[in-house]
Structures are given as structure tokens and as C-alpha cells.
Amino acid sequence: MEKIDLLILGSGPAGYTAAIYACRANIQTVVYEGLQPGGQLTTTTDIENFPGYPNGISGQQMMEEFKAQAQRFGADVRFGFATKVDFSERPFKVLIDDEKWVEANAVIIATGANAKYLGLESEEKFRGQGVSACATCDGFFYRKKNVAVVGGGDTACEEASYLATLCNKVYMIVRRDVLRASKAMQERVLNTPNIEILWKHQTKEIVGDDMGVNGAILVRDGKDEVKIDIDGFFLAIGHHPNSDIFKEWVDTDAEGYIITQGKSCRTSREGIFAAGDVQDPTYRQAVNAAAAGCRAAMDAEKYLSENR
């Protein structure tokens, strides 16, 4: 079985920053990129709030630069994702792509989080045929059409603003009579003429035919049913941390976020560290994930040097 000193799972800002720090500390480091190489930022529009890019940068480009920087210092970056782990004893065992076990002296979990769905049958049925959780990835297909975005947070406002530049009309389906988003984002959507906010509306069903989505049935204020004609239905109701395979081995909170100790990235199991959106339900920003990746690498370095 292959033996690795430090194994990093995930290739978002947390994973690559951890790799940069670990490699510079002369630790043999392997990164498995996971299901979405580059992480969630590769599915977003321009990043305008990451320091060092005064003119903004596309998420895709930024993550290519993170990767190149990690590789420059010797990170072994590989395709593949962890499907099972056995953290019962050192060396820790990780199954990659359900076929290859590797062993590692320390592991940094930086597997991020994924978009949540409402849980409707019709949502499953039309996934990829009008239902999407990524406006940046799929907005292009709905140029000059009508679409809806569910949610009232910053993500929903961002997605709605982006779609408004492409689409004829964007409905925002908001379950309360307020937006959770920051003031700046609220103002942006409220001042965009082709965004209409449907306050106190919940989605009952997404409707369509062989060609895909053509509408949605909503319930207004828990009472009346309303039908809207749309071709695209975008989810923006939050995220679920990608921690399912680790829950047996490290402590998580009620929502599945991995619990880390104090300011460190140490989990409840010695030698296993977590960084980024998989352990941060609050400050889920690239710059925070990168900072956590740095801390995780420093924690791992200390652990490895004390446990040679």
C-alpha cells in the first residue's frame, strides 16, 4: 500500500494553501482533488474580495494559480476522491475512488461543502434539465428567458444579480418577508428592474415536460397557489458540508460541520485536521478557507515532527 506523509483531501483554497505550507516545510504532500477539482470557486463568477487581485479574477483562474503555486513547491496533485476512510490507528487509511487504499501519517480534510436542494421529487427529475445550483455554470443556457432563484441569502442575491444580466426576468423565491443577505446585496437586487422578489413564497413543485422545466407552482403565505412560467430553477439555499465519510471518526456538529479545537485545525482525532468550508459554518469565504489551510498545515507539521 502506498505510504504518504501528509494527505490532503480537497483542492479548494483550504486544500491548496495547506499544500503550499506543508511542501515549504519539506513534508511529502499528496493532494487528491476531489469531485470538483478547484472546489466551489470554480463554479462562481469573478472573485472581487480576495486580497491581491485589485481588478478581480475568475474563480477558475484563481484556483489554477493556487494549484500551480502548490505544485511549484512539490505538491503531488492527483485526480481522485476519498470514498472511505479508516482512521482507527496510524497510519490512517483512505480509499481513493473505491479502488485504491493509501496510508498517511497525517490527513487534512478540506473537502468543502455542497449546495443544498429542497428535496422535491420534481427537483430530482429536472436536475440538469432546468434545475441547477450554479447560476455561473448554467446561466448561459437561459439567455433572454425567465428563471427563478430560491433563497434570500448572499448567494441567492449574487446568483439573481448575475442571472439578471443574461435573462429576461428573474424571480427570487423568498420564504420570509425579509432577505438574510447583506445590505449591499439586498440593495443590488432591489434596484435591479428585472428581478422580482416573491416574498413569503415556498416552492410546491417544479413542472415541465420532455424538454425540461417550464414552470413552478408556489404557495404564497401558506395559502394560495401561484404558477410562474420559467425555464430555469436555481437553488441558493445554503450548503451541506462534505463530511459524511468522516463522521464515524471525528466529531461533527448537528449540521455535519467538522469540529476543530479552538483556533487550531485539530479535530477530535489526533493526526486528523480539517480546514475550510467543511469545518466553517460561519465565515465561508475563500480567504478564510485559505487561512484555515495554513493553520492546518502548521498543526500537521507540528504533529508530524512530534510523532516521527
The closest of 300, 246, 284, 208 to 49, measured between CA atoms, is 284
134 is a contact residue toward ligand NDP (CB under 6 A): no
Active site annotation includes 210: no
Residue of closest CB approach to ligand NDP: 153
157 is catalytic: no
Pick from 189, 237, 250, 289: which binds ligand NDP (CB under 6 A)? 237
Q: Does 145 bind ligand NDP (CB under 6 A)?
A: no
Of 102, 156, 198, 265, the one binding ligand NDP by CB under 6 A: 156
Closest approach of Cβ 147 to ligand NDP, in Å?
A: 16
- Least gap, CB of 117 to ligand NDP (angstroms): 9
> To the nearest 10°, the Cα dihedral for 263, 267, 270, 276?
-80
Q: Does 180 bind ligand NDP (CB under 6 A)?
A: yes
Rg of the chain (C-alpha set)? 21
* Nearest distance from C-beta of residue 82 to ligand NDP, angstroms: 24
* CA nearest neighbour of 240 among 116, 75, 100, 68: 116
| Residue 284 near ligand NDP by CB under 6 A | yes
Of 97, 98, 137, 253, which one is the catalytic site residue? Answer: 137
Smallest gap from residue 257 Cβ to ligand NDP (A)? 12
Q: Which amino acids are annotated catalytic? A: 134, 137-138
